[in-house]
Structure 1
Amino acid sequence: MSTLIDQAVQARLIVSAPPARAVPARLRYERSDPFAVHIAFPPAASLDGAEVEWTFARELLATGLNTSTGCGDVQVWPCGADRTVLEFHAREGVAMVQLDTAELRRFLGRSYELVPAGTEAGHLDVDSDLAALLREA
């Protein structure tokens, strides 16, 4: 069984002056980082021309499909029946994207097949992670 889920999605970048524009994005989930999901945007979607990746709690994404959640750098909420908004806060500003809720549900479903909810801690390799930290110190 694979230890990685990598799924292409189409995001709509919400901008202050219409129209919103479509940008490709990639959702990633790894068994070795069981509490987190990652979303990456290509260089063309950023102000400085560099790829942008955000990492946040899988639970935040799952909750945000049904109700507004998040109080930090990442906030998620449903936008009608078919779309979900992800809002990212950084020093440079705020970015908002809309994603297809059905695609997010499929991605989360695959992640729960890989690591069921409530079993995340059992997939952490604390000894190896600690050893790596000590080697770097």
Structure 2
Amino acid sequence: MSSVIEQSVQARMVASAPRMETLPAVLSYDRRNPFAVRMVFPAPATLEDTEVSWEFSRELLTTGVDSPAGQGDVRVRPYGFQRTVLEFHAPEGIAMVHVRTEELQLFLQRAQELVPVGDEHRYLDLDGGLTDLLGGAC
């Protein structure tokens, strides 16, 4: 079994114009980093024409599908019955995208099958992390 889950999703960028632009994005979950989820937007979908990646907690996404969650750079909340809003706060501004809730729930289910909630600590490489932190001194 692979240690990484990737799932393509269609995100809709919320802008001041009434039309929302559809953006491809990829959600990924790696059991070697069991508390985190990553969402990547490809270069053509960004203003800077470079790939943009946001990493945030799996718990934030899980909670945000059902009720507003987050106070920092990433915030998640339900929008109606079929969509979830993800807000990405950066010094340059705020990007808001809508994603189908069903797609997020499928992704979270797959992550749960790979690493059950509550078992994340079993997948942490604490020795490797300390070695990296100390510059290989361990």
Under a length normalisation based on structure 1, what TM-score does the superposition of the two structures give?
A: 0.97
> Residue 17 of structure 1 aligns with which residue?
17
Q: Helix, strand or coil: the match of 1:19?
A: coil
1:15 partner letter: A
Deviations 1:13-55 (A, max 9, x none): 1111121100000000000000000000011221111110000
Consecutive aligned runs of 4 or more in structure 1 exceeding 3 Å deviation: none
In 2, Cα distance between equivalents of 1:102 and 1:80: 12
In 2, Cα distance between equivalents of 1:127 and 1:117: 22
1:57 partner letter: S
1:95 partner letter: A
The answer on 1:89 being equivalent to 2:77 is no
2:117 partner letter: A
Q: Helix, strand or coil: the match of 2:134?
A: helix
How high is the sequence identity, in percent, across the aligned residues? 53
> Residue 72 of structure 1 aligns with which residue?
72
> Residue 125 of structure 2 aligns with which residue?
125
| Corresponding pairs, count | 137
Q: Helix, strand or coil: the match of 1:39?
A: strand
In 2, Cα distance between equivalents of 1:72 and 1:79: 19
Under a length normalisation based on structure 2, what TM-score does the superposition of the two structures give?
A: 0.96
Deviations 1:89-135 (A, max 9, x none): 00110000000100100000000000000011111000011112222
Alignment of 1:44-59 (within 5 A): 44-59=44-59
In 2, Cα distance between equivalents of 1:67 and 1:7: 23
In 2, Cα distance between equivalents of 1:18 and 1:136: 53
> Residue 28 of structure 1 aligns with which residue?
28
Structure 1 stretches lacking a partner, 5+ long: none
RMSD: 1.1
1:19 partner letter: R
Q: CA deviation at 1:136?
A: 6.2
Q: Helix, strand or coil: the match of 1:10?
A: strand
In 2, Cα distance between equivalents of 1:61 and 1:122: 21
Q: CA deviation at 1:3?
A: 0.3
In 2, Cα distance between equivalents of 1:136 and 1:27: 31
